Chains A and B, each alone.
Chain A
Amino acid sequence: MNAPNRYELYVLEEGERPVEIIEDTKIPNAATIKVVKQDHTLGNLLRAQLLAMPQVLFAGYKVPHPLQPHFLIKVQTDGTITPTALLEQACTKIIGTIASLEATFKKEFQMSNIGAAVAEDAYGTGATTSGFPGDRDYLDF
């Protein structure tokens, strides 16, 4: 009855900031970044990318409580770059990786669709094409 809306788990509230940077006062070049309305999907991905970067001394993430929709990511760098800037770099790097992955996927799907169209009557795209007139695809819109 008084349950909060489910979408509050993943939608920012009006004016809510997506990140909060908490600088570490006891450790040099370290910060904890609170990422709101995100979960392991992003936390673990960023952690892995940060650990692969040479400037990083420490990187770890945690979801402090499963009912609180945020995670914390802690980064310590070697001092050549701030943790925030490095996290930003990590994001851009992953975006680049995914973009190239996306391109290869598109190519692969195209090839598979051509092969499948001959074999089993335009199978492959499933519901994607069935509703559209002619050769139009939703990607053409």
Chain B
Amino acid sequence: MSQEKDPHVRIQELKKDKVKFVLENVDLALANSIRRVMMADIPTIAIDMVEIESNTTVLPDEFIAHRLGQIPLVSTNCDEAIRYTRDCTCMDGCKYCTVILNLNVACNEEGKTMMITSNHLEVALWGEEVDQSMITAGDELSKRPDNFGQPVGKDEIGVEPILITKIRKGMELKVRCVAKKGIAKEHAKWSPCSAVGFEYDPHNRLRHTTYWFESDERAEWPLSDNAQLEEPVKEDEPFDYNAKPTRFYMDVETDGSLGPQEVVLKGLQELQTKLANLVLGLKQEPEAEMATGADQSLPQTNGHPTAGWGAPAAGAGGWGQTSPNGTGAGAGWGSPVAAGAWGGSPGTSNWSAPPAAPTGWGTSPAPAGSGWSPRPPGSAGWGGSSPQQAGWNV
């Protein structure tokens, strides 16, 4: 990676729901990982279950549930302000892990079409009706802004609400929505980003792409705005096949559930968390092998160390540039284990059983694994291509 120079950032435009910036002196892989993490790994809240009390509208229940699921809800400070339901000790949702939104609209006016919109969704206060004995209290509620869980832009002037359905006289819609915390890897409705622009090398100096054209390449492929910020390729310029991209133009646009600043900063933190958990795992590996069956000694490295970086996470020993401390060396290194495992696909029959069928309509009916975001460049098969790979089949 281009570590000769420190990474540099220049923000070109910062608005309520988008930020445009130029990232310099970073590696393509890092820039791409930042893009991926912002799109798919930042938690927000979204409606995940809809209990339909009455629906006499023209749209079927599933349709309504699906539409409700995709309404962006204010998710500021989602990291600390709400728990994942799977981590909560409650039985069936509580104020620490769910937000309830009610919608109750009926049309009684003759000859008029009424719009049911996101403005009709009201965040409900949690009463004491839930069995409190099971629930571990936390300080999540104090970390929420007043409008946490509300549809984005609710009752704000100048913001068009989101249309759910239209009704005429005699029709009504009465539903109770359960919003939960999640990430976009589970369903895209949890993505804080509506779009992430990513461009580098606008003049195609590095020839990472080839343009298809009818008759005139230049005319058929107009340059992007970013091209003005870089020198065009001269007619007689020799091709530098060693050159690497160093400037990245990114344009992060959010759906309003999180601000662009929070998305970028949380994205960077998330990436660090991923790496930190990997280091923790690598450090544990040799010890874990020696202590047979000492699985329980593994600290859970899955969650987010809420204290952010710099603080030593769960028994990891301080961070910093201290690392090659010989973990992995010694004990059994080079000893023959699991030869031939390469290429074979390890068995994966350990999918766990699903929980009891949920009541109400889920709002995410899409099939799993539907080819998430674009692959990083050159990721078919082995993602590596080193100049030193000396005869390796890559």
Contact = CB atoms under 8 A, between A and B. Distances in A.
B7 interface: yes
A23 B275 contact: no
Interface stretch (B101-109, B110-118, B182-190): B182-190
Contacts of A124: 14-16, 259, 261
Contact of B326 (A45, A85, A113): A85
B295 A141 contact: no
B80 A141 contact: yes
Contacts of A101: 7, 9, 23, 26, 268
Interface stretch (B27-35, B170-178, B194-202): B27-35
B281 A4 contact: no
Contact of A18 (B21, B254, B280, B328): B280
A127 B268 contact: no
Contacts of A131: 74, 76, 144-148
Contact of B278 (A2, A52, A91, A125): A91
- B-side interface size class: 35 or more
Interface in B293-341: 295-296, 298, 300-302, 309, 319-321, 323-329, 332-339, 341
A15 B299 CA distance: 9
Tell me what chain B mostly uses at the interface: helix, strand, loop, or mixed.
Answer: loop
A3 B338 CA distance: 31
Contacts of B37: 41
B375 interface: yes
Nearest to B185: A10
A108 interface: yes
B136 interface: no
Contact of A25 (B32, B276, B339): B339
Interface string A1-23: 11111111111110101111111
B382 interface: yes
A97 to B, nearest CB: 6
Interface in A73-118: 74, 81-89, 91-102, 104-106, 108-109, 111-113, 116
Interface of B: 1, 3, 6-11, 14-17, 19, 21, 23, 26-30, 32-33, 36-37, 40-41, 74, 76-77, 80, 84, 86, 142-148, 152, 182-183, 185-187, 254, 256-262, 264-265, 268-269, 271-272, 274-285, 288, 295-296, 298, 300-302, 309, 319-321, 323-329, 332-339, 341-342, 345-346, 348, 350-355, 357, 364, 368-369, 371, 375-376, 379, 381-384, 386, 388-390, 392, 394
Nearest 9 CB-CB pairings of A with B: A131-B145, A60-B384, A84-B328, A126-B259, A48-B29, A18-B281, A128-B259, A138-B77, A19-B281
30 contacts: A4-B351, A17-B298, A18-B301, A21-B282, A33-B282, A40-B375, A41-B36, A41-B271, A42-B275, A44-B32, A52-B27, A57-B390, A60-B382, A60-B394, A63-B379, A85-B324, A85-B326, A85-B328, A88-B282, A89-B324, A92-B279, A92-B323, A95-B279, A95-B309, A99-B309, A101-B26, A102-B268, A104-B8, A125-B261, A127-B74
Given A19-B278, A127-B152, 14 more contacts: A4-B352, A7-B182, A9-B369, A35-B278, A35-B281, A41-B41, A44-B383, A56-B386, A60-B384, A92-B321, A105-B264, A109-B265, A128-B259, A132-B146
